[in-house]
Amino acid sequence: MEEVPEASAELDPKVEIVDVYRPEADPELREFYVAIPDFESLTEEKRRSEVHEIAGYKWRLLLFPKGNDTKNSLSLYLECEGPVNTDEQYPIRKWRFPASFKLIVCSQGPESVDIVQETRHIFSHNDTDWGFREIVSFDILYSENESYIVNGALKLGSSISIENSEEYDSRKETGFNGIKNLGATCYLNSLLQVLFTLGDFRKSVFGMELPADDDDDKIPFALQKVFYELQNGAAPVKTKRLTKSFGWDSSDAFTQQDLHELNRLLCSHLEEAMKKQNAKNKISELFEGKLVNFIQCVNIDYTSTRDEAFFDLNLTVQGSKTIYESFDKYLEVEMLDGDNKYRAEGYEDLQDAKRGVKFSTLPPVLQLHLKRFEFDYVRGINVKINDRLEFPGELDLRNYVEKSSGNEVYSLHSVLVHVGDVHAGHYYVYIRPFAETNQWYKFDDETVTLVNEKEAIDENFGSPTPRKLSNAYMLQYVQKDKAKSLLKKVETVDVPKALEERILLDAEEEENRRRERDDFHLFMDVAIVREESLLSHNGVDLIPWDSAERLDRRLIRKSMLFRELAELVTGHLGLDSHQTLRVWRLCQRQNSTIRPDRLLTSGDDDVPLSKLSGLGSELQLLLQTVPKSEVEAMETDEVLQFFKVFAPKPIPILACIGSLACNRSATVKHSIQQLMKLKPVPRELVLAVQAGNITVFEEDTPQPVKPIDIEKTHDELGLGTGDIIVIQLPPSVLLESLPPSILEKRSTPLQGMHDVKTASDYFMYLRNRIHVEFRDLQKPAESGIMLELLKTDTYGQTRKALSHALGVGSSPDKIRLYPFDIVTNGPRQDSLSLAQLNSRGDSLENMLEMDYRPGGYTTMESKIFWYEYIDYDLEEFENKEEVRITWRYDGGTYIQGASTGIPEIKDRWMRTKVLSVLVPFHTSTYEDVTREMKKKLGIPSEIPIRVVEVKSSYVCRVVPLSELVPHVVHLPSTGAQLDYELRAEPDVLDDVDRHHLGRGEYSWVSVLHIPRGNYLASRGYFGDPFLLPVKAEGEKVGVLRERIRIKVRVKEEEFDNWALFSITVSSTDALDDVESTWSVGSDEIGSTSLAIEHTRRVPPKRTYGLMKYDKPLVIKS
């Protein structure tokens, strides 16, 4: 411990005493364990363990039983409370303790192993805890197959390895710089270090020429800056600018993502940027290889080939002992025979064939993604494969390339490691950055250390028993004969001078912004408005105070004197020798208007600006340019008044025409006459005043203006400094002599659908106007029509205005509106009803407050409605139930009804017809619904109809036609609301099914679509499910596959790659054996389904109402 003075009378008790732990030669391992017997019954947000003293410091565990900002995992941290201090008079205020440590979730049974996560941290007085937000998922923690919780108890532990106390400097110790972790960006940091140490790649990034006016927040420049700081910086590099260029926010930075996916996205964006510059495509040059997909017939001379480029290879871990075995599986040839034969072009009979891939060329940089994460179909969950997979330092792939050039021998460059399980983990990377040596480095966020080859390679093979949670996830090899050029050192001269200058300038600006933030408390906001800006304003009050165009807002030191500010402003304005400034302080009145309240004079010269404004508020100033001949101060009996003119024609306008120092004892009429003598006013106003044909109001607030008697004095009317007088011209006068800059801003209020004849009307309009967006319910996420309306408009007036804006053919009586729902961030489930409006009032203000908010809280911030055209007038809905139903003449497939006589009725380009059917309350059945639907669509009455409920692309049930229609609002089947559909379809067999089934018995089975990936666990269905008749005794899987293929109209070559599954509530079984027989097992539709797994051809529709947080990795810029 650092020596400190002994306590004495002369020692100041406020002195800072600093402690830094300094072990002499004692980097020993210390550990402690904590039992939590009541873990399963814990209700508190977090719990701390008892304190353990290690090396003179106090340590304990900090546990979040329900997770810390995560719902799926346990959060565990190590907390250091500082040195054990026995001197209360002179406490140690600053301390630092560097340590490597492990956090342990202990196994309490023979079948499972401890879960261990390891990291390092420098604990200090202002950074007391460190650990893992997702140390273990709750699925594993509470699993019956594991033994982490026994009788409700959990056991945790920590082992601490004390490091050298001198703060570790990665640059000094290794020559390499680390990268700051922004929250959960270890995967990004690891990838950046891999790409950075690839010298040829780094040089090409530096060489990307960016236009001088290109945004500094674009990905190429942000990456150049990161690489420059990694190469030249002394401190760990921050990647906030880079993640910002991705379009990520703080929640993205704290979300663990997939390293392999990020690699592909980042390289794809860089490749696009290089193409735009017509630069050499370094991404393809370094990472692109070529393979050939082939199908070769066995008994005839026919081979089909297709070339394909790849940028990385996905290799199987499970079942492979070495990386060579993984390559063997990748190139394994599949036999197409039996029911899976191949149809060769030009041959009528199906053929036995071999299908596989061959490598034609391998890239200089070979990236191998090891498939550590897979879906366990037995357990129905995603799992991590921790199996051992050995990989060499030198990889010879010459035998794997069809026509080898002899240069397919690779040296291992980097090993990216994932430690943890499928729900929680951490990434770091081992890199051999130099071709000339075999020295390996470990890059773990901020820390870079030297390691030996065994730690970098052998210790990352993985091991299932005992389970080793840290193992290689991605490998990068470089061609051995090109290693020196690929890993060549990048010198300072390799960074273009222009780029270096731009990066240094950016760093300087960033440092200035940091200093500004640090000094922000010394400054205040000063808003300055010139009287000329008032004259260009044609609205309420003197000026819109949020207008950046009319206000000059600046940060100015609070200590600046008023005299200094006045000199600064005078110099900026460039006043001539005959002019001077008159400065008014503005203040906010009790009625929320902002008006001048005091003229600042020479007596305020030495007053700091902070004294002129209210406590912590913005100082607002009004500048008047006046001749020097005018006295600086106004007379005590004078008040500053502002004058506006209002004219209703040709287009209503309210404009400020000037200000005047008015004597309190003068009449308003006299002041108006003085204004016309001293200020340039419209000639129409002069004529109206001379004719005595004006009406005068006081604009006190945006409330209705008050008429005033112009024969009375300012004093009698209570008019003071800052008040506004409005002069209204008669309706017969056309105001055209205002400056063009004012007249150009006129716009017809409310699309001309309301009359604005007087100043009172105009102020009422200004007070109540609101801009509302109307979006098409068929396209809920797209922008719509923006209309200016009044808060007092009725439901009928609102629909009339929308109908007018939509144009010919849209009757307001057939428009229905849906308000905003804050829960789904989309249209509300039910529309505005007449009964609801009659009970609450049908003003637009009330309608906007009908958006659903928890606890009844409402605001008007979401000024959006969704509209739809309906088949009935709104009045017809009284005492009737609306059923939204979708007619699918093809039953959800893509085949024709053939000879069934069913008409093909479509909505636009869709193979469906969505319609509303009205039936009486309480007594109607779904048979009544189908009868009405047939009438509307002209479907022959003899065709039987089946009604099916579909939710989230899953067939829930077939609705009996005798079932009563419930008295609820049916959700629209447009995709605008919840993903729900009430579907009507022909209850007949098409030609294909009729031929196949003959006269035998059959059951209807739903067929679902599942996208490729780990969607089976979450049942992430998509597309249109359909019903397939299946023989009661069962059918061969191969036959089922062919029937489904015909239904969905997919070519055999493509459908061969689609997997088929049988799904029940409790199990998911792959139907791989085409010769096996599959039967339904239950006549109830939905209890057993078939699912085809294939690529989603279109992005999923946005589904409102599903509050599911499952953000995909995406670079948004």
pLDDT tens profile 1035-1090: 899 999 998 888 888 888 788 888 898 888 767 788 888 888 888 876 566 678 89
Which candidate, 285, 282, 276, places its Cα nearest to that of 210? 276
CA pair distance 270, 281, nearest whole angstrom = 9
SS3 of 1004-1021: the string is: EEEEEEEECCCCCCCCCC
CATH number, span 638-747: 3.10.20.90
Domain 766-875 has CATH 3.30.930.10: no
| Contacts for 827 with CB less than 8 Å, ≥ 6 apart | 775, 777, 780, 818, 819, 820, 821, 866, 976, 977, 1104
919, 883 contact by CB (below 8 A): yes
DSSP conformational letter for 713: B
Both tokens of 798, joined, read: 């609102």
Lowest mean pLDDT among 43-57, 294-308, 643-657, 1057-1071: 1057-1071
Please report which residue ranges of 137-280 form alpha helices under DSSP H.
Answer: 138-141, 170-174, 186-196, 199-206, 219-232, 240-245, 250-253, 259-276
Confidence of residue 487 (pLDDT cuts 50, 70, 90): very high
**Which amino acid, one-letter code, is at 482?**
K
Say which CATH architecture domain 520-627 belongs to.
Answer: Roll (3.10)
Topology annotation, domain 18-162: 2.60.210
Identical fold at 638-747 and 991-1094? yes
Confidence of residue 1106 (pLDDT cuts 50, 70, 90): very low
Whether the per-residue pLDDT at 924 is higher than 90: the answer is no
**How high is the mean pLDDT of the chain?**
81
pLDDT tens profile 249-289: 655 544 556 677 788 888 888 888 887 776 678 888 999 99
> What would the DSSP string read from start to end of 420-479?
E-SSSEEEEEEE---SS---EEEEETTEEEEE-HHHHTGGGS-BTTTTB-EEEEEEEEEE
pLDDT tens profile 213-237: 566 568 888 899 999 999 998 889 9
Between helices 683-690 and 668-678, what is the axis angle to 10°?
140
Give the pLDDT of residue 273: 80
Listed by start position, the domains of the chain span 18-162, 170-284+492-515, 289-486, 520-627, 638-747, 766-875, 991-1094
Give the pLDDT of residue 777: 86
| % of the chain beyond a pLDDT of 70 | 82
Domain 289-486 has CATH 3.90.70.10: yes
Please, is 793 exposed, middle or buried when counting C-beta atoms within 10 Å of its C-beta (0-12, 13-18, 19+)?
Answer: buried
Lowest mean pLDDT among 279-293, 427-441, 527-541: 527-541
Whether the per-residue pLDDT at 548 is higher than 80: the answer is no
Distance of CA 234 to the CA centre of its chain: 33
Domain 991-1094: state its class. Answer: alpha beta
CA pair distance 214, 225, nearest whole angstrom = 14
pLDDT tens profile 59-83: 999 999 998 888 888 999 999 988 8
Give the pLDDT of residue 1063: 85
- Mean pLDDT, to the nearest integer, of 724-744? 82
Lowest mean pLDDT among 348-357, 491-500, 538-547, 748-757: 748-757
- How many C-beta neighbours within 10 Å does residue 1017 have? 14
Whether the per-residue pLDDT at 854 is higher than 60: the answer is no
486, 365 contact by CB (below 8 A): yes
Give the pLDDT of residue 1086: 62
pLDDT tens profile 101-143: 999 999 888 766 788 888 888 888 888 999 888 888 888 888 8
Whether the per-residue pLDDT at 365 is higher than 70: the answer is yes
Whether the per-residue pLDDT at 1105 is higher than 70: the answer is no
- How many C-beta neighbours within 10 Å does residue 300 have? 14
Give the pLDDT of residue 164: 57
Give the pLDDT of residue 894: 54
Give the pLDDT of residue 15: 36
Confidence of residue 467 (pLDDT cuts 50, 70, 90): low
722, 594 contact by CB (below 8 A): no
Topology annotation, domain 170-284+492-515: Cathepsin B; Chain A (3.90.70)
CA pair distance 258, 1011, nearest whole angstrom = 19
